[in-house]
Structure 1
């Protein structure tokens, strides 16, 4: 009898274990499905403001000398370095292309030049010519944003427009070469102003400060055409400058309107499936 009962118990226990093995399965995690990445195109209006330092290169100047209308170059003609401040409004077309219109003031460029020739006190004289120049530039610009690397977006650009150059009056004093104390009275020539064609080339990088605010540091080259410089006075003038090359180191801010912040996509956690 004991043998029979033992055999029945053994059969029942083996059947229960086999059933439990069939029922229990370890949890299986569902495969992660990669979600397509949506490329968000940046676009919208922005405002900008900039300041800079300008290294100025005057390409020369000439003037009419005497009643016969003889035109002569200045022996020397230089302007000091100066500063630039400006602002503008622009539009980000997409992630790689933007455009803006800017208005800049360029000021404080002191001019000093000299000429040689006869004057009222001697046949061999040298002059000292003093003035200063300032300008407003209105430019239409286009930029290519090369790509974004972390917080940095390098770019290149170009622009065309006009520059209103304003010369102050020129003070001309001619003195004998061998006797610098023997001088003509100072002659004052009225300053001139004129619009000039201008083009510009730019390169730099934008730096993300917040979602809407970027710092902008870069370089700009401007080529300003020549034009009127000063008027006629006492058998001298008028005078004309031959234009400027202006090299600028610039820094500024750009503020973009609208919601330009991008939140990275995070897929929801997949539930654990028990089989």
Structure 2
């Protein structure tokens, strides 16, 4: 009987030993997938801008009314022989909205500081030919609604073109008309609103995700209007408007997730290294 059961006892003992040895095998911990945080990508949003500019103005023409004998008016028969306007600085600010990586719009207000004016006229003084020198200056507040097309971003640089429509409040200072070898007359300067349009081109550079440096060129045309009032038998005077060339530089700050053209790719917060585990026997 004992000899009969020995094989079964040996088999049971072997099974228990094998099970105990298998329990000593090392089981690697479960590997969890990496944690990835995706930063929201800007798709559009509001921005503020500020600009420091320098502009050069050129009169498109001018004329003034003179009064002849016996109350006869001869309008528009005289104009300045020469005109010259100095360049001047200007400051601008605006608010805009980036609708897509390629389209944006803004509303801007620019104040153009005084541009000095010098002109000469010729005529007759008491039946004798004479010439005179005229001096004044003009300033303007320019309000524009603008639209831009961004032409793609290359190494953080985004070239663009744009156009704008709006109005300019032009203010002329008093004009002093000094006759050579004689006296002088002061004409009160005029101020008025005028239609204006502009075209522009430039490029922006991503300083950060929210801040861009913007530099460019703008051409603005302002319609004509009254320049000065009547005094001493002459006036009023009118300018035919301005052609203005402007070099612009400033900053644009985008709110929220930043400017879509300065967006940063997704950020991986943590990704554990890959290990290949092999069973370790103790």
Q: If the TM-score is normalised by the length of the shorter chain, which range does it land in?
A: 0.7 to 0.9
- Is the CA contact 1:41–1:95 (under 8 Å) kept in the aligned structure 2? no
TM norm structure 2? 0.77
Name the residue aligned to 1:112.
118
- 1:78-93 correspondence runs (5 A): 78-93=84-99
Gaps of 5+ in 1: 1-36, 176-181
CA distance in 2, matches of 1:80, 1:242: 17
Alignment partner for residue 69 of structure 1, among 47, 70, 73?
A: 73
Distance in 1 between residues matched to 2:201 and 2:193, nearest whole Å: 26
- 1:99 and 2:105 matched: yes
TM-score w.r.t. structure 1 length? 0.79
1:1-275 equivalent positions in 2, closer than 5 A: 40=41, 42-67=43-68, 68-70=72-74, 71=76, 72-120=78-126, 123-175=128-180, 182-183=181-182, 185-260=183-258, 261-264=263-266, 271=274
Q: CA deviation at 1:66?
A: 1.8
Between the two proteins, the alignment pairs up a number of residues equal to 231
Q: State the alpha-carbon separation in 1 of the partners of residues 92 and 249 from structure 2.
A: 11
Instruction: Give the RMSD, CA atoms, in angstroms.
Output: 2.1
Gaps of 5+ in 2: 1-37
Q: Is the 8 A contact 2:200 2:217 kept in 1?
A: yes
Mapped contact 1:51–1:84 kept (Cα < 8 A)? yes
Contact 2:63–2:80, Cα closer than 8 Å, also in 1: yes
**How far apart are the structure 1 equivalents of 2:189 and 2:123?**
23
Cα pair 1:41 1:94 within 8 Å, conserved: no
The 8 Å contact of residues 127 and 172 in structure 1, kept in 2 or not, is answered as: yes
